[in-house]
Amino acid sequence: MDERAYAKLNLALHVRGREPDGYHRIETLFVFAEDGDQLRAGEGEGLTLALDGPYAGDLPEGADNLVMRAAERLRERFAVRLGAALRLTKYLPVASGIGGGSADAAAALRLLARFWKLSATESELSTIASALGADVPACLLSRAARGTGRGERLVVVEDSSVSGMPLLLVNPGIALATASVFRAWDGVDRGPLPDGPLLEAALAGRNDLEQPAIGMVPEIASVLQALRSGDGALLARMSGSGATCFALFDSARHRDETAARIAAEHPSWWQMATRLR
Cα–Cα nearest to 205, from 31, 6, 15: 15
Q: Report d(CA 187, CA 155) in Å as an integer.
A: 26
Task: Find the catalytic residue in 37, 104, 135, 208.
Answer: 135
Q: Report d(CA 183, CA 22) in Å as an integer.
A: 8
Chain-centroid distance of CA 17 in Å reads 22
Strand, helix or coil at 226? helix
Check if 8 is active-site.
yes
With contact defined as beta carbons under 8 Å apart, do 76 and 38 qualify? no
Cα–Cα nearest to 241, from 96, 124, 103: 96
Calculate ∠ Cα 264-267-7, nearest 5°: 110
H helix count then E strand count, the chain: 9, 10
Check if 135 is active-site.
yes
With contact defined as beta carbons under 8 Å apart, do 93 and 55 qualify? yes
Query: Taken in order 129, 132, 137, 140, is the CA torsion positive or negative?
Result: negative
Catalytically annotated residues? 8, 135
